[in-house]
Amino acid sequence: MFPKNAWYVACTPDEITDKPLGRKICGESLVLYRGPDGQATALEDFCPHRGAPLSLGKVENGKLTCGYHGLEMGCDGKTVAMPGQRVRGFPAIRAYPAIERYGFIWVWPGDAALADEAKLHHLEWAENPAWAYGGGLFHIHCDYRLMVDNLMDLSHETYVHASSIGQKEIDETPTKTVVNGDEVITSRHMENISAPPFWRMALRGNGLADDVPVDRWQICRFTPPSHVMIEVGVAHAGKGGYDAAAEHKAASIVVDFITPETETSIWYFWGMARNFKPDDAELTATIRAGQHTIFSEDLQMLELQQRNLLAHPERKLLMLNIDSGGVQSRKVIDRLLAAEAPQQVAA
């Protein structure tokens, strides 16, 4: 259902405190915490003593202690100690590869022997001080591929987001989809149009006039296992559009990390990175609030869409030109699933 030999965002660093965090990723129940050296650690959320969830325990000095009988676990999944008991011979529980990078904690839910930090895509905006980022997290009850479909076909903005980023020119402008290996890119460029409310706000935030015609672009990039980065922006019309100089445009990257929880639920880490006025915290908060409202509008649609699909599994959905980005992204996912199938059978 979902590729497991890949890096997924499990949480943000601020979600791990002195209390361990329980989170299901790709059907695997994990407990996340910081070990003795402060390193992000992910273990199976299962105490080997009586099967209690370790996420109901506590962390002291980097030591994870079960909240049921006090069994202490090591970062490698091996038991360490328990009051009045000998437990070092207990079988180890599963430890998942975990890394902290780009402002997120990532886990590899598949074969640990295949985990490779080099397979994590480089995110320039997360390390460059010329960029600012603000985002959040939604828990949504839908198949992760429905969210990929949603993000790779932005024609829904005209209807779902009519009061913020939607406009009729999105419907009227054709898209172009190309596939480069495992990357799928769908792009749309609109010229000499009016900026919708969200982008008028962004223009003002960058010190630009918001009441003049603009050129607008949307470039959606899917990369496995389920990440979508969308280059979006507007420039004063006639200044070069996407290639316009910085003083003529407001441009950003919509960040979408879609982490499957189950076959019908996801952890959706969303945000926006921008390379104009990166030190303006008020602007970051304003953009984040606008995005929160926009993505909240998607939530109801996706959850009710999922409910309909579960109620009518026999119905075949229509595929139109606007669906090309999602269709090609699903083909990439299917290819990865097929490649993992022999490993799962062998296991």
Name the token pair of 40: 């992000």
Q: Cβ(231)–Cβ(197) under 8 Å?
A: no
Quickly list DSSP for 307-328: HHHHH-TTPPPP--GGGHHHHH
**pLDDT tens figures, 279-317:** 999 999 999 999 999 999 999 999 999 999 999 999 988
- Quote the radius of gyration of the chain (alpha carbons, Å): 22
CA distance 246 to 230: 18
pLDDT of residue 343: 57
Element (H, E) at 2: none
Q: Cβ(171)–Cβ(165) under 8 Å?
A: no
pLDDT of residue 49: 86
What is the distance of C-alpha 341 from the center of its chain?
Answer: 24
* Dihedral angle sign, alpha carbons of residues 312, 318, 319, 325: negative
pLDDT at 113 over 50: yes
Q: How confident is the model at residue 195 (pLDDT cuts 50, 70, 90)?
A: very high
**CA-to-CA separations, 62 to 38, 42, 46, 84, 342, in angstroms, rounded:** 7, 13, 18, 21, 38
Q: In which residue are the tokens 């969303």 written?
A: 270
In the chain, count H helices and then E strands.
Answer: 7, 18
Q: Cβ(308)–Cβ(158) under 8 Å?
A: no
Residues 6+ apart with CB under 8 A from 264: 141, 142, 143, 306, 310
Q: How confident is the model at residue 347 (pLDDT cuts 50, 70, 90)?
A: very low
Q: Average pLDDT in the 58-70 region?
A: 90
Q: Cβ(267)–Cβ(9) under 8 Å?
A: yes
pLDDT at 262 over 70: yes
Q: Cβ(58)–Cβ(65) under 8 Å?
A: yes
Domains and their CATH numbers in the chain? 8-119 (2.102.10.10), 125-340 (3.90.380.10)
Q: Average pLDDT in the 158-170 region?
A: 88
CA distance 107 to 42: 7
Among residues of the chain, what percentage have pLDDT more than 90? 81
Higher pLDDT, 318 or 193: 193
Pick from 111, 97, 81: nearest CA to 41: 97
pLDDT of residue 234: 97
Q: Average pLDDT in the 124-145 region?
A: 96
Measure CA of the first residue to CA of the last residue in the chain; give whole Å: 16
